[in-house]
Structure 1
Amino acid sequence: DLAQELDAMDAVLPALERVDVLVNGAAIAQAFSVESARASDWRAHMELNVYAPAELTRVLLPGLRKAEGTAIFINSGAGRGGFGDNVVYAATKHALYALADGLRKSEQDIRVTTIAPGPTDTAMFQGLSGDYDKSHVIAPVEIAKAIRAVIDAGPTTQLTEVQVRPRIELADRK
């Protein structure tokens, strides 16, 4: 069970003296409305999308501080809006914003960034979209480039939020 694994994270992870960059990128997304979601659906999404990055970051925080490193949270465009048929995922991404914002305000020795991609060519997004066209979504390499830009930001700055959107929004395609 993921909750037990998260509780044991201190013992599982090696003691890293220095952490220059942490990218919290794991997530699940299954389409649920308020009506269709059950407690187990909420729990599974919260555990992987919020609890796991919170716990991983907590465990690696001493190394991030020592390196004056960067913690990156891969969020989603869904984190700033509501979606009736994808409410569980969107709610967890709202929570991930709060996690990143709180960490940024409490940890002045590290840089904290939220990268929020729109629809990206991943297995997760393919599973959500009934009418999937790879040419209409963001290539994963573009998200990697956004991560690189955050890491390469100068020492006196931090890019606190990076929105990565498709050239033409899916809803605007004709």
Structure 2
Amino acid sequence: MAGMATHVITGAGSGIGEAVARRLHERGDELVLHARNAGRAKELAAAFPGSKTLVGDLADPDRLSWAFSHQSLPDRVDSLVHSAGVIDLGPVGELTPRSWHHQLNVNLIAPAELTRHFLPQLRAARGHVVFVNSGSGLNAHGEWSAYAASKHGLRALANSLREEEHGNGVRVTSVYPGRTASPMQVRVHQQEGKEYDPAHWITPESVATTILMALDLPRDAEVHDLTVRPGR
């Protein structure tokens, strides 16, 4: 992306989203960082000086449109990076509708609603939508049903969006990282009752490198699906 590009990023507070935001910030791009509340927005603005923030609760996608209508949105959006996600493991026999709704809302319905909201700007800029998916978007293991369902759904969202918006010049990329050394991974290990060693997993920076590669590709190419696995 030549010149000053503007990126809307969810999940910029930690993990892959934070690594992507830092790299784009370092090179002087404009950032619009999504936060779930005003306190979090302040933290993000302090962490990335000069960036703008956008407040709305991804767990309540029905109200995102209302929340955004009370804030100033960017006129230009060159990329929308969906990196926020939640996870709650458990067997089908124990997961409650509340757990299902929470994961589907944050991981699938909110990205769809954010995309709908920014499509006019993305079309105008011939921009790029990046969905940070998961290995669970390709395979579902025991105890991972709700999370994997949300990520399988995210894959479907990306594939449909790509076909719909291709004629408008909007590129769509799904990234499927293996286990990444992030706060989410710490929670997963706690839920699995396993010891956590970040050295075993991919660094968020390595995944960020692949996302920037997709964003920076010349216009004649589009990365559809990118699987990133631990190299050791």
Matching residue of 1:125: 185
Mapped contact 2:179–2:229 kept (Cα < 8 A): yes
Mapped contact 1:9–1:55 kept (Cα < 8 A): no
Deviations for 1:46-90, whole angstroms, at most 9, x for unmatched residues? 110001111111100011000000000000001101111111111
> Per the alignment, do residues 47 and 27 of structure 1 end up closer, same or farther by CA in structure 2, a change over 3 Å counting?
same
Mapped contact 2:174–2:226 kept (Cα < 8 A): yes
Mapped contact 2:65–2:117 kept (Cα < 8 A): no
Post-superposition offset of 1:95: 0.2
Distance in 2 between the 1:12 and 1:5 partners? 11
Post-superposition offset of 1:36: 1.2
Deviations for 1:122-170, whole angstroms, at most 9, x for unmatched residues? 11111112221111001010111011101111111100111110014xx
Secondary structure at 1:8's aligned position in 2? helix
Q: Which one scores higher on RCO, CA 8 angstroms, separation ≥ 6? A: 1
Structure 1 residue 163 corresponds to structure 2 residue 227? yes
Superposed, 1:1-20 pairs within 5 Å as 2-20=60-78
Superposed, 1:9-158 pairs within 5 Å as 9-108=67-166, 109-129=169-189, 130-158=194-222
Number of aligned residue pairs: 168
Mapped contact 2:77–2:127 kept (Cα < 8 A): yes
Gaps of 5+ in 1: 169-174
Secondary structure at 2:98's aligned position in 1? helix
Post-superposition offset of 1:10: 4.5
Post-superposition offset of 1:3: 3.5
Superposed CA RMSD in Å reads 1.4
Q: Give the alignment's TM-score, normalised by structure 2.
A: 0.69
**Larger mean Cα displacement after TM superposition, 10-19 or 72-81:** 10-19
Amino acid at match of 2:186: Q
Secondary structure at 2:142's aligned position in 1? coil
> Per the alignment, do residues 7 and 16 of structure 1 end up closer, same or farther by CA in structure 2, a change over 3 Å counting?
closer
Secondary structure at 2:140's aligned position in 1? coil
> Per the alignment, do residues 156 and 9 of structure 1 end up closer, same or farther by CA in structure 2, a change over 3 Å counting?
farther
Deviations for 1:15-67, whole angstroms, at most 9, x for unmatched residues? 43221111001000111221111000000001100011111111000110000
Percent identical pairs in the alignment equals 35
Secondary structure at 2:64's aligned position in 1? helix
Secondary structure at 2:175's aligned position in 1? strand
